[in-house]
Structure 1
Amino acid sequence: MDFSLDENQRAIADLAADVLAKEGAGEPLAHDARQDPETRYQEHVWAAMAKVGLLGLALPTELDGDGLGVAEIAVVLTEVGKAGARVPALATLALGVLPVASHGTAKQREALLPDVAAGNALLTAAVSEVGAPLATLPGTVARPGGSGWRLSGRKVAVPYAGHASRILVPASLEDGAGVFLVDPHAGGVTVTPTPTASGTPECTVDLDDVEVSAADLLGGDTSGAAARALREFAVVGAVASGDGALAGVLDLTTEHVRTRHQFGKPLATFQAVAQQMADVYIAARTVHLASVSAAWRLGAGRNAEADLDLAAYWLTAEALPSVRTCHHLHGGVGVDVTYPLHRHYSELKDLTRLLGGHRNQLHAFGAGAGS
């Protein structure tokens, strides 16, 4: 099968790469910005992406969007990962825009998505719980109360929770599950910043009998379909971001071994170096193929469960060992915070944690294959 990008996707990739390069997305954040949870992303880069329409790709055409889907968003996330940009693309586009655009009501889409496309608002989702990354059966519960619902539970590793206008919160119902649009400033919501490897904002979100209206149930769905879709979008978005980050690592290391000389020769001419680079290349290309395959199947409306599990496994199993090899080939340069390799490494650490690690993914893949 041919998983090459089509003409539109190629144009999106080129546009994203161009904007990210022009805006200096690969430049490191200042030390004080890395330590401040309120400023730990590149707002000027995000504004530039909004200006050229990259944040409105998945909006319906009636909201002046392009009516595109998960495959195109995955292309954007891959370019963001490749550039090492610190922007809320995974949180807002994969965890927010895609589920709202595909499962939200017309009123929900109209209320949330235009501001996101304009760069004036962020979305995110709380897909993980304590001891349960990407939880399939949320421990957070929603019970009928007043004219809507009351939510109680704890969510962890919620990206950009303190910046978002709404957090998509999966919760178990008496008979099924739903996704609720929660205002992080609502009564009963406690947002606590937590550290990450990359320094990007992430929080634990505690919900103590939080009241939400019936209109805040995504798509009015109580069957669990919206919750399953949210989890799928989270996986495909994380893998696409990781695909880009690993590609960025490979590009940096290829250039380094080509131009760095030892004993009067480029490092790339030494057999041991070439063999290690070949291993990283194979891992990167395998992750890329698995990522594109998963995005394609999901975007085509096919059952993508096995492809998502496989892609997540390859990323979590191969990405960090590959980056460690590239660190070794760089020598001391690789751990310098003024050199971009560390950004990709830290981002891949956070993505691996989001996905639950390779053992968790292997278990999920094995369970799916045996069912």
Structure 2
Amino acid sequence: MDFTFTEAQDDLSGLTRDLLADWTGKNTPDGTGFDRSLWSSLARAGLLEAALPAPIGGGFGLLEQCSVLIEIGRTVAPTPYLTSVAVAASAIAAFGDDAQRQRWAAPVAQGDLTFAVALATEDDRFTATPAPTGWQVSGSHSAVPGGAFADAFLIEAHTADGPLLFVLDRDTPGLRSTEQQVVDGADAALVELDAVSVDVANVLGAPGDGGAGWARRRATVAACAYQLGVVERALELTAEYALTRKQFDKPIGSFQAVRQRLADAYLDVDAVRLTLWHAAWRESQGLPAEADVATAKFWAAEAGHRVAHTMVHVHASIGIFLEYPVHRYFLAAKRTEFLFGAATEQLRALADALSAGART
């Protein structure tokens, strides 16, 4: 295992940080979760296509995507890179045919298309049954990230032979998308499908071929990378505040209780970093990674929760002011805590993965 960043990772993360720092210095997110001008800027800079497989993109992959996502998390920038590039376009590149790659993945690389991703949960799922020209899909998902503005949807549906991935246009007959208000904005949507007929041209792979599991692992790793950026910056903001805010003529960072909270947060951030790169490396090498991905997401959820609360507690009342940037990191960390499975769900997934390994 080698955690040394590649030259591409360094270049992409540096370019992303410069571009997003410039954008956030001039703009304030409006709660929609999407800024089209920023998305276009990322495309012009080559950041959308760089981490997609050739010939669609630059031939890089998951590790480079994680480096970009960390920088997006550090600024909480309103861009659907996670769903559109790291999950949807990458899944289409991996499991789609040439026609599907040109129709769906190439426009993402050029900044002309955005995706929302609806993966099955315990409470939200779609089912698919065979139809004369393909499949008939029904079901609902209560809060699909990016669903309020996405041009297309990558949907996981369960069939009699296993899970299957479908790609649907926003204007697909029978698809209803209703904007939902979530903790940090209004980008999510209730997505409902009522016996929607889906042509075979909109199906990725075959039932049970591993595509849905691949997409779930990639989505979970991507969420961990984004969360790492969020908590890294949250800790930096908190440490800076502890050095400058004074009580009794002393920086509050000199008080033992505050130092202990910051030290614990530092360890939590390091745990998120270590488990993320461990899981991302194994997944990028095609090695069994279910247990590693679950471990990484457990830390992203549990540590993200603790770091977010430490940030607000140290900042005290100013930490909840909407005019102060800290609250955006708190909300981002809390939402990502539950994205693609919270801590308890990840422990269950880890137990299943370890049990499966013990049986083989």
TM-score, normalised relative to structure 1: 0.91
- Provide the residue aligned with 1:69 in structure 2: 61
SS at match of 2:156: strand
* Shift, 1:130, TM fit: 5.7
Cα distance in 2 for residues equivalent to 1:142 and 1:26: 46
Shift of 1:279: 0.3
> Match for residue 125 of structure 1?
117
Aligned residues: 356
Summarize the Cα distance change of 1:284–1:293 in structure 2 as closer, same or farther, 3 Å threshold. Answer: same
The residue type paired with residue 267 of structure 2 is I
Say yes or no: does 1:274 pair with 2:267: no
Q: Is the 8 A contact 2:153 2:168 kept in 1?
A: yes
Q: What stretches of structure 1 of length at least 5 have no aligned partner? A: 133-138
Equivalent residue number for residue 105 of structure 1: 97
Residue 24 of structure 2 aligns to a residue whose secondary structure is: coil
Residues 330-369 of structure 1: matches in 2 within 5 Å? 330-369=315-354
Alpha-carbon displacement from aligned partner over 1:111-167 (angstroms, at most 9, x marks no partner): 1122212222101211134625xxxxxx42222223221111112321122322321
- Write the distance in 1 (CA, Å) between the matches of 2:322 and 2:43: 28
Q: 1:307: which partner in 2?
A: 292
What is the rounded CA distance, in whole Å, between the counterparts of 2:240 and 2:27 in structure 1? 18
Per-residue CA deviations over 1:250-296 (Å, capped at 9, x if unaligned) read 11111111222222222222222211110000000100111111111
In structure 2, distance between residues paired with 1:353 and 1:148: 33
Distance 2:206 2:151 in 1: 21
Counterpart Cα distance in 1 of 2:348 and 2:41? 40
Equivalent residue for 2:49, pick from 46, 56, 60: 56
SS of 1:80 mapped into structure 2 = helix
Quick check: 1:235–1:308 contact (8 Å CA) kept in 2?
Answer: yes
Question: What amino acid does structure 1 have at the position aligned with 2:136?
Answer: R
Give the superposition deviation at 1:57.
1.8
| Segment of structure 1 superposing worse, 54-63 or 246-255 | 54-63
Deviations 1:218-241 (A, max 9, x none): 1x3222411111111111111111
1:33-72 per-position Cα deviation (integer Å, ceiling 9, x unaligned):
43xxxx4422222221111011112333323x21111111
Alpha-carbon distance, 1:205 to partner = 0.9
User: Does 2:11 align with 1:19?
Assistant: no
1:157 to 1:266, Cα distance in 2 relative to 1, 3 A:
same
Q: Which has the higher contact order (CA 8 A, sep 6+)?
A: 1
Note closer, same or farther for the CA distance 1:234–1:26 as it changes in structure 2 (3 Å cut): farther
Asked if the contact 2:164–2:207 (Cα under 8 Å) also holds between the matched residues in 1, the reply is yes
Q: How does 1:1-371 map to 2 (within 5 A)?
A: 1-24=1-24, 27-29=27-29, 33-34=30-31, 39-63=32-56, 65-129=57-121, 131=123, 139-218=125-204, 220-371=205-356
Shift of 1:2: 4.2
Query: Does structure 2 conserve the Cα–Cα contact (< 8 Å) formed by 1:28 and 1:340?
Result: no
What amino acid is the match of 2:34? Y
Q: Percent identity?
A: 33
The alpha-carbon distance between structure 1 residues 25 and 98, as it changes in their structure 2 partners (threshold 3 A), is farther
Letter in 1 for 2:102: E
SS across alignment from 1:55: coil
Cα 1:200–1:87 shift into 2, 3 Å: farther
SS in structure 2 opposite 1:68?
coil
1:60-101 CA-partner distances (Å, limit 9, x unpaired): 3323x2111111111111110011212112221223122112
How has the CA–CA distance of structure 1 residues 176 and 112 changed in structure 2, closer, same or farther, with 3 Å as cutoff? same
In structure 2, give the amino acid aligned to 1:367: D
Residue 135 of structure 1 is matched in structure 2 by: none
Q: Is the 8 A contact 2:179 2:186 kept in 1?
A: no
1:157 and 1:354 in contact (8 A); partners too: no
Conservation of the 8 A alpha-carbon contact between 1:316 and 1:355: no
Paired residue secondary structure (1:221): coil
Rounded to whole Å, the distance in 1 between the matches of 2:209 and 2:142 is 20
CA contact (8 A) 2:261 2:310 kept: yes
TM-score normalised by length of structure 2: 0.94
Q: 1: CA distance between counterparts of 2:47 and 2:5?
A: 17
CA distance in 1, matches of 2:173, 2:58: 36
Distance change (3 Å), C-alpha of 1:77 and 1:297 = same
Provide the secondary structure at the position in 1 that maps to 2:138. Answer: strand
Structure 2 Cα separation of the partners of residues 74 and 231 of structure 1: 15
User: 3-state SS of the aligned residue for 1:14?
Assistant: helix
Q: Distance in 2 between matches of 1:235 and 1:351?
A: 10
Contact 2:120/2:156 (8 A) holds in 1 = no
Cα distance in 2 for residues equivalent to 1:209 and 1:366:
35
